[in-house]
Each structure stands twice: as structure tokens, then as C-alpha cells.
Amino acid sequence: MLSYDKPVAVNGQGPSSAAGLSSGCQTMASSPKASRVSAPVLSNGALSNGVTSNGSTALTAAQRPNKDHHIWLVTGPAGCGKSTVAKYLASTLQLPYIEGDEYHPQANIDKMSAGIPLTDADRWDWLTALREASIHQLDNGSDGVVLTCSALKRKYRDVIRVAPYFVPNIHLHFIFLKAPEEVLLRRVLARPNHFMGANMVHSQFDILEPPTADEIDVITIDVSRSADEVLADTLDRVLNTMDGISARSRQQ
Ligand SMILES: Nc1ncnc2c1ncn2[C@@H]1O[C@H](COP(=O)(O)OP(=O)(O)O)[C@@H](O)[C@H]1O
Ligand SMILES: O=C(O)[C@H](O)[C@@H](O)[C@H](O)[C@H](O)COP(=O)(O)O
């Protein structure tokens, strides 16, 4: 069985050997959660639900080896603005959006609603489901997907980093939203109708492992600024990253 306790090399490559990897990419087509993801018309004329605008079925990401595919994973503790940033990126870039909170089993929601922090064991299946849901969107014809997931520890990020093992032409990017605990506490206190109460913010900072310099797939954004500044800066960094990758792909 694959252990996530050992950091995955962050070099844009998947694991060099399949040994030990457990399940393979399971389709999320039957998942009730997958149907909740919106299916905007993509710039290539495909719908993100896998059907092109002329009614034919889209090619999977692996069947389009010369095309760059991007997973934009917006991370950080409760209240840092993951949903705000991810919705903006998805609508601006016309990409499907996956809200990580919708993939929790009810038991996790119940725990968090009761102010009990999740454990590693509570998170593994959730993280794997998010990885598979992202790949599912790319396999359905989308060039990219935006998702939210706190991904507080490195080993959680490493679960998602396995994605290129399944689809080699995926570029995975973490967007880490960074701000001091007191700023996020204020925002969570002011946020209405969310299962994640302000009492959970401290426990998240307690276990947070901010991305380290060797995690070269991470874009860090200072979110102590106004929402407008954060959104503009994030979009700029994302567009620059995509331009750089497109330029490298053209040279190959
Ligand atoms: N840069 C910002 N400045 C001020 N308020 C923000 C900013 N970004 C998000 N918010 C607000 O803070 C709260 C938490 O944002 P949200 O996107 O729900 O965070 P997360 O998804 O990370 O928990 C929301 O009420 C949101 O409107
Ligand atoms: O939006 C928020 O308020 C939180 O970030 C929320 O998304 C929660 O943190 C995660 O769903 C999972 O919990 P962990 O962060 O404890 O893994």
C-alpha cells in the first residue's frame, strides 16, 4: 500500500515506479459529488462534463498528450479565502470548480461542526477523492480545473501530487493563501452559515506545515490584503505560470 508519510519528489514527474501504488484512477462518474461540479463551456468548445458542443464525447487527458492540463489547488487554513479565490479563477478562466468541502463524508462534517479537528485518518479518503475528481474533469475534456482543499500538511499535498502518475501531461499547482492567524480568525467569525467555526482556526494553525522552498509547485499569495488585490495578484500569477509552461511546451 502507498504510504503518504514520505514526501513525494516535487519535480513535475510522477513516481518512477508503480510498485506499491494501490488502486489506480477510479472514475468518479457515478459519484453524486461529481455531478455537483458545474460544467461551463470551455474555450476549446468542450463542455467540462465530457461532451463537446457538437455532442461527441471528449478525449481523455491522456489521449491529448500534446495538450497541457492544469490542476489549480487553492490551499490554506479556514477563512484564508480558498472559496473566494477559486470561484473567481474558475469563472475568469472558464474552468470547472470543485469545492473540497462538498467531498467530505458526513462523519467529517459532523466532527468539524462539533468543533473536533479531523485526524489524518479522516482525511486520506477525502484527499484521494479530490484528486480523482480533478482527474475526472480533465478526462472529460477540460484543459484545467480549480479546486479548494486546505492541504495543511505536506503529506496531504503529496496525495494530490500523485495525479501526474495517472495522467502524465498534468501540471499541478498549489496556490497557498497566507495570512496571520488573527486575520483568518476575524474572517471566520464574520462568515455566516459555515460548519467550520472560529474555534477550529487555532487547531488548523497548530498543524499547518507551510510549503517549503523545495515545493516548487506552490504559488504563495499574501491574503492579508483586500479581496480585490488578492484576486488580481492570483490571476496574474496563474496566467504567468501558464504562459511559462506553454512557452516551454512549444520549445520541446
Ligand atoms: N482578502 C479578503 N479580505 C477580506 N475578506 C475576505 C478576503 N477573502 C475572503 N474574505 C471573506 O472571508 C471569509 C472566508 O473566505 P472563504 O473564501 O470562505 O475562505 P475559505 O474557503 O478558505 O474558508 C468570507 O466571508 C469571505 O467573503
Ligand atoms: O473552508 C474552511 O473553512 C475550511 O478550510 C474547511 O474547508 C476545512 O478546513 C476542510 O474542509 C477540511 O478540514 P481540514 O482543514 O481540517 O483538513
Report ipTM for this prediction.
0.96
- Lining ligand 1 with CB less than 6 A are 76, 78-84, 148, 187, 190-191, 223, 226-227, 230
At 62 the three-state DSSP class reads: helix
Higher pLDDT, 229 or 198: 229
For residue 50, what pLDDT is reported? 42
Find the angle CA(10)-CA(248)-CA(66) to the nearest 5 degrees.
Answer: 90
**Pairing of the two strands 144-148 and 170-178:** unpaired
- The domains of the chain, with CATH numbers, are 80-251 (3.40.50.300)
Please enumerate, as own/partner, the contacts of 118-125 that have beta carbons within 8 Å and a separation of 24 or more. 120/153, 120/155, 123/156, 124/4, 124/159
**Pocket residues: Cβ below 6 A from ligand 2:** 78-79, 82, 100-101, 104, 117-118, 123, 150, 152, 194, 196, 204
Predicted confidence at residue 6, as pLDDT, reads 52
Q: Give the tens place of pLDDT for each residue, 66-124.
A: 788 999 999 999 999 999 999 999 999 999 999 999 999 999 999 999 999 999 999 99
Say if residue 228 is exposed, middle or buried (CB neighbours under 10 Å; 0-12, 13-18, 19+).
Answer: exposed
Residue 172's SS3 state is strand
pTM of model > 0.90: no
The residue among 72, 70, 104 whose CA lies nearest residue 88 is 72
The pLDDT, as a whole number, for residue 144 is 96
pLDDT band at 60 (very low <50, low <70, confident <90, very high): confident
